[in-house]
Structure 1
Amino acid sequence: MKKISSLFVFLIAFACVETDNYDIPKSGSIIESQVKGTEISINSVKNNYNQETAEIYTFSGDMYFVGYVISSDKAGNFYNKLILQDAPENSQSGIQILVDENALFETYDLGRKLIIRLEGLSLWKNNGVFQLGKQNRGDVVAITPSEIDRFILRTQTISKLEPKLIDIGDFSQAILNTYVKLERVQFNRTIVRESYTFAGESFDQYDAVRQIESCQTTEISFVGTSTYADFKSIAVPDGTGSIEGVLTRNYYDDYYVLKVNSLSAMKFNAERCDPDFFECSETAVEGDYILFSENFAEITNEKKLDELGWMNRNINEGEERFVDATSNGNRTIRISGYNTGENPLEVWLVTPNIDLSKSGGEMLSFDIKASYDNGSILKVYISEDFSGNPKNANWKLLKASIPIGPTNQNGAGFTHSEIDISCLQDSVAVGFYYLGRDPDKTTTYDIDNIRINAREIISE
C-alpha cells in the first residue's frame, strides 16, 4: 500500500513541474503575454538578408515576430508552407515559412495570429521570395514535424483578412507574400476560347499559370495553380470579375503570380471587356487568287524585308526588332524580348501595301507560334492609310488567334488565323505589333505564311 501511495505522490509532483512555455501541442494555443523575447517586424526579419552576397542568414537570440496566416493548403494549392503577413489588413510585408507537414489548415487557419521564434531558423531568398526554414548545407529546408512547436506558436486570435485592393501594375517586390485583391480582371480570351482548365492540361507540370488582364489598364499577369489543387480540372471562368490571393513569383522567378486559396476567391460574373475587333464577317472563305504571300523561305537576313517594302522598326530606337529564324527546319520571322534589356520593347512589322481595289472576297491568313510564354504581348492590325510611320496610321485591331505557348520551352506548333477583310476596298497594310519589356514580358513569337487570297478578280 505504501508503494502505491508513493507512486501516486510522485506522479502528482511530476505533473506540477512547470514546463517550457514554448512546448505547446499544435492543437493548443498560447497566451501571448507568456511569450518571452524581443519582437521584431517581418520587414526587420527580411532586412537581415544580404542581397549582394545571397548568403543564408541564421538567427540567434530570443527574437520573434508576429504574423497572420494568409495561405491554406485545404484545396491543395499550397504545399508544405505557411505564408504570413504582418497585419490582417493594410499589410506592409509578408514571408514564407517552410513546414514539413500536411493539412496545415487544420491548425493554422486563415487569419490565425502566429508567433514565430527565430532562434535557429534560417533565411534565404528562393525563386524571388523570402523563406524561413532550417539550414541544410547550402539550402534552407522545411521545419521538421518534431520541431514545429518549437518555432511556430499558435495564438487564440483569429482576425478577418482584408485583402489590399491593387491593380496588376502595382505588383512589386514590396508586397510579395501578402494578401491582395484585383478587380475588373479577366482571363485571356485565347485561354477561354480553348476551354483551358486551371491546371489540368496535358502540358501542365507542378504549377500551371493562366494569363489574366486588367480591364482598366490592359496590364497582364498570371494566376498560378498547383497540379495537385482539387480544382485543377475546372475550366477558367469566361467573364470579368475579382480575384484575391497571395502574390508570389513563378518557379523561375520570371514574373509575378497570384495564387488563390480556393475557387471561392474568384468571382467572375460580369461581361468580358475584350476590345472591339475589326472583322467584315465572322466567316472567312479562302479564294483561289493570291494577292499577297510571304513564307520567309528566302529571307535569310531580316534586312531583305526592307528591300521588299516591309517596315521593321523599333519605335523607341532600340536595337531589337523582328529577325529571320528557323523553326524545325522552317524559316520564319521572329521576335523576342528575352535578354534585350529593353523596357519597353515596342516593335512593328508591317507588310507592304496590298491593293484590294481590283478583287473581291478577300481573306487574310497567317500562322503564329508562341514559345517561352510569359504574357500575350503580340497584336495584329490592319490599316488603309499606312504610309511609313505606324504612329500616324489608323489601325484596326484584328481578331487574330494569338497562341498561348509553354512557359519554359519552344512551342509545339503554329496556330492558324483566317480573317475576312472583304469589306475593305483600297490598299491595306498588315501590322504585327509587339509590346514587351525585359525581363518579365519577353514571349518569343514566330510568324509565318502571311497571305491574302481573293475569291474573285474584278476586271476593269
Structure 2
Amino acid sequence: MKKKNKISNNKSIMSNSNKFLTVLSVLALTVFIASCVNDDDYNLPDLTINEPNIPSDKITTFEAVKSRLEQAQANGDDTAIIGLDEELYIEGYVVSSDRSGNYFEELIIQNKIDDSNPTNDPRLGFRISINVASLSDTYEFGRRVIVNLSGLTIGEANGVIVIGKGDGSDIGQIQAFEYKDFILRTPEVATITPKIVSISELTEADENTYIQLNDVQINRNELDKTFAGEPDDEFDGFRTIESCENSSTIILQTSTFADFKSLQVPQLKGSIKGIFSRDFRDDFNVLIINSTSDIVFDNNERCDPIELSCGIASSQGTNNLFADNFETQIRNAPISGNGWTNYIQSGTEGWEAYSATGSNASLGISARVGSFRSNDVSTIAWLITPAINLDAQENETLVFKTSNSFSDGSNMEVLLSTDWDGTESGISTATWGVLTDAYITQDSDSFSSWFDSGIVNLSCVSGTVYIAFKYTGSGEADFDGTYELDDISIDF
C-alpha cells in the first residue's frame, strides 16, 4: 500500500510539473509574439508597384526600334542586336492576355493607348517572346511596361516584329529567371481604346496592335463550326470574318488550347476586338482575340446573300439559250463580246482569256481571274451573262466547268439577279442570289483537273435574269490564287 501511495504521489508531482511547464510555454510564446508586433499592428506585405527609375533620355521610340531592325536587314542581317553596354528602353501597353489560353508565352505591347492621343511616334506594336506561362497574372491587359532592351534582339517571326533573346538568326525566348529584369511593370493600368478600322484599311503598320472591326460576321458556311474544336483544327482554328460593308474578309485565328475552342462561333453580326497579326507561316492576315468577351455580335440582321436553289436537274436541256467556250476570245486579253459584262469592282484584275498546256491545261481557250501578286488591297471581278428570259420556256438548266491554280484565300461564286439594270454602276446595288446547287472547284481539289458544276436547275426562277461569276480576293495578293472557267451553257 505504501508503494502504491508513493507511485500516486509521483504521478501527482509529474502532473503538476507538466501543467507548470505548459503555462510557462504559453507565456513564452505570448511574449515572443508580442515582441514581433508593435502595438498589435499586423502589417501586410507591401504590394506597391513603384515607377521604375529610368532616365527619360534612355527611353527610345517604337519607330526607332523598327528603323534599327530595317537598317540591319538592309545590311544583310536578319536581326538587330542591342548590346549589353547600351542602356536603351521602350515603354508601351500590354494588349494581349493569356488568361483564356489563346496566347501562350508571349506579350503583345503597343505604344499608344488610343489614336486620339497624338504623338510623334506612329502607332506600332511588338511581340515579346517569354518562356513563362500565365503572364497575364503579372502583366495584365492595359498595364504600362518599360522594356529593357539591353542584351535583347529584334527580328521578325511569322511576319511580325518580335523582341527576344538572340539565337543565331532566330529570336529565342527570354527565360523565366530573368524576364522581370527585362519587362518592368509600372503602376499604370490604362484603358485601351482599340483603333476602329475596316478590314480593307488594315496595313502592316497595324500589326501587333489592338483593333476593332464593326459590322462584320462569320461567313455563313462556317456557322456550324466551333472556334477551334473541329477534327481538322490541328494547332489553330481558322474562321472567316467578313465585312457587311464591302465583302472584304480576314481570318479569325483561335488556338486549340483556348478554353473557348469548343464553343460554337457567334451566329449574328456586330463588332469584334482583337490583335491584328499574321498566321504562323506568314501567308495571310489574322485577328486574335483575348477572350470571347471581345466579340459583340448582337445584331440578328446578317448580311448574307440570298440563296437560290431549284435543285439539280436529272438531265440537261437540248435547246440552247446561251453558251460560250471562249474559243473566239483573244489570248491574254479581257473577255469581251457575246453579251458579256466584264466588270472590275475593285483592284486591277478582271476576267481574261488564256490557254495553257501541261499539268494545269486550259480547255482550249478558257477564262480566268486571279489577284496573285497583283499588289491590290482588294480584288473583286465580275463576269456577267447577257439577259436570259426564263418566262419563254420551261425546265431551264445551267452547266459550266471550273478549275483553279491554288485558289487559297480567294473565292468564286455563281450569282443570279432579276433586278440588275444592265449597267456597271448598278451591279453593286442590284440584288444577287447565290446559286447554291452549283459546284465550284475548291482549294482542296486537284489544281490539274476541271470540275463539272452539275446540271443546275433554274426552273423555279422566273423573269429576265443575269448570271454572274464573281471572284473575290482576300486582300492578300501574295496568298490569293486563280480560278478558271469554261464550257458555259444555259439550256431548256
For Structure 1 versus Structure 2, the TM-score category normalised by the shorter chain is 0.7 to 0.9
1:431 aligns with 2:468: yes
2:80 aligns to what? 57
Q: What is the CA–CA distance in structure 2 between the aligned matches of 1:324 and 1:200, rounded to whole Å? A: 42
Identify the match of residue 359 of structure 1 among 387, 393, 407.
393
1:68 aligns with 2:105: no
Aligned in 2, Cα 1:408/1:292: closer, same or farther, shift over 3 Å? closer
Query: Is 1:77–1:229's contact at 8 Å kept on the other side of the alignment?
Result: yes
Report deviation, 1:431: 2.1
Query: Is 1:366–1:450's contact at 8 Å kept on the other side of the alignment?
Result: yes
Q: What is the CA–CA distance in structure 2 between the aligned matches of 1:65 and 1:344, rounded to whole Å? A: 35
2:63 aligns to what? 43
1:337 aligns to what? 371
Q: What is the CA–CA distance in structure 2 between the aligned matches of 1:269 and 1:411, rounded to whole Å? A: 43
SS in 2 for 1:47: helix
Aligned in 2, Cα 1:421/1:108: closer, same or farther, shift over 3 Å? farther
What amino acid is the match of 2:130?
A: V
Q: What is the CA–CA distance in structure 1 between the aligned matches of 2:316 and 2:174, rounded to whole Å? A: 69
Query: Is 2:107–2:130's contact at 8 Å kept on the other side of the alignment?
Result: yes
Aligned in 2, Cα 1:424/1:52: closer, same or farther, shift over 3 Å? farther
2:127 aligns to what? 96
SS in 1 for 2:69: coil
Q: What is the CA–CA distance in structure 2 between the aligned matches of 1:411 and 1:230, rounded to whole Å? A: 41
What amino acid is the match of 1:57?
A: A
What amino acid is the match of 2:434?
A: K
1:398 aligns with 2:433: yes
Q: What is the CA–CA distance in structure 2 between the aligned matches of 1:323 and 1:180, rounded to whole Å? A: 41
Query: Is 1:374–1:407's contact at 8 Å kept on the other side of the alignment?
Result: no
Identify the match of residue 253 of structure 1 among 282, 298, 313.
282
SS in 2 for 1:45: helix
Q: What is the CA–CA distance in structure 2 between the aligned matches of 1:250 and 1:62, rounded to whole Å? A: 33
SS in 2 for 1:200: coil
Q: What is the CA–CA distance in structure 2 between the aligned matches of 1:350 and 1:397, rounded to whole Å? A: 12
Aligned in 2, Cα 1:416/1:43: closer, same or farther, shift over 3 Å? same
SS in 2 for 1:198: coil
Identify the match of residue 238 of structure 1 among 254, 262, 267.
267
Identify the match of residue 32 of structure 1 among 37, 48, 51.
51
Query: Is 1:323–1:335's contact at 8 Å kept on the other side of the alignment?
Result: no
Query: Is 2:386–2:466's contact at 8 Å kept on the other side of the alignment?
Result: yes
Query: Is 2:407–2:481's contact at 8 Å kept on the other side of the alignment?
Result: yes
Query: Is 2:335–2:352's contact at 8 Å kept on the other side of the alignment?
Result: no
What amino acid is the match of 1:46?
A: K
1:133 aligns with 2:164: yes
Q: What is the CA–CA distance in structure 2 between the aligned matches of 1:208 and 1:40, rounded to whole Å? A: 37
Query: Is 1:372–1:409's contact at 8 Å kept on the other side of the alignment?
Result: no
Query: Is 1:294–1:448's contact at 8 Å kept on the other side of the alignment?
Result: no
What amino acid is the match of 1:434?
A: Y
Query: Is 2:277–2:288's contact at 8 Å kept on the other side of the alignment?
Result: yes
1:267 aligns to what? 296
Aligned in 2, Cα 1:89/1:54: closer, same or farther, shift over 3 Å? farther
Identify the match of residue 255 of structure 2 among 215, 226, 238.
226
Give the superposed CA RMSD.
4.2
Q: Deviations over 1:60-118 (max 9, x none)?
A: 31111112211112222222211011243337221110112222222222122222100
Query: Is 2:52–2:184's contact at 8 Å kept on the other side of the alignment?
Result: no
Q: What is the CA–CA distance in structure 1 between the aligned matches of 2:215 and 2:486, rounded to whole Å? A: 35
1:307-346 equivalences in 2 (<5 Å): 309=338, 311=340, 313=342, 315=344, 321=352, 323=354, 334-341=368-375, 345-346=379-380
Aligned in 2, Cα 1:357/1:272: closer, same or farther, shift over 3 Å? closer
| Further displaced range: 195-204 or 374-383 | 374-383
Query: Is 2:329–2:336's contact at 8 Å kept on the other side of the alignment?
Result: no
Q: What is the CA–CA distance in structure 2 between the aligned matches of 1:84 and 1:132, rounded to whole Å? A: 11
What amino acid is the match of 2:462?
A: L
Report deviation, 1:328: 8.9
What amino acid is the match of 2:275?
A: V
Q: What is the CA–CA distance in structure 2 between the aligned matches of 1:227 and 1:293, rounded to whole Å? A: 51
Gaps of 5+ in 2: 1-45, 118-122
Q: What is the CA–CA distance in structure 2 between the aligned matches of 1:240 and 1:412, rounded to whole Å? A: 37
1:203 aligns with 2:232: yes
Query: Is 2:390–2:461's contact at 8 Å kept on the other side of the alignment?
Result: no
What is the aligned residue count?
421
Report deviation, 1:430: 2.3
Percent identity of the aligned residues? 27
What amino acid is the match of 2:369?
A: I
What amino acid is the match of 2:111?
A: D
Identify the match of residue 155 of structure 1 among 160, 176, 186.
186
Query: Is 2:351–2:382's contact at 8 Å kept on the other side of the alignment?
Result: no
| Further displaced range: 328-337 or 269-278 | 328-337
Query: Is 1:29–1:153's contact at 8 Å kept on the other side of the alignment?
Result: no
Aligned in 2, Cα 1:339/1:196: closer, same or farther, shift over 3 Å? same
1:444 aligns with 2:482: yes
Query: Is 1:168–1:219's contact at 8 Å kept on the other side of the alignment?
Result: yes
TM-score w.r.t. the length of structure 1 is 0.75
Report deviation, 1:176: 1.6
What amino acid is the match of 1:170?
A: E
SS in 1 for 2:267: coil
| Further displaced range: 169-178 or 179-188 | 169-178
Aligned in 2, Cα 1:245/1:141: closer, same or farther, shift over 3 Å? same
SS in 1 for 2:233: coil
Query: Is 2:411–2:472's contact at 8 Å kept on the other side of the alignment?
Result: no
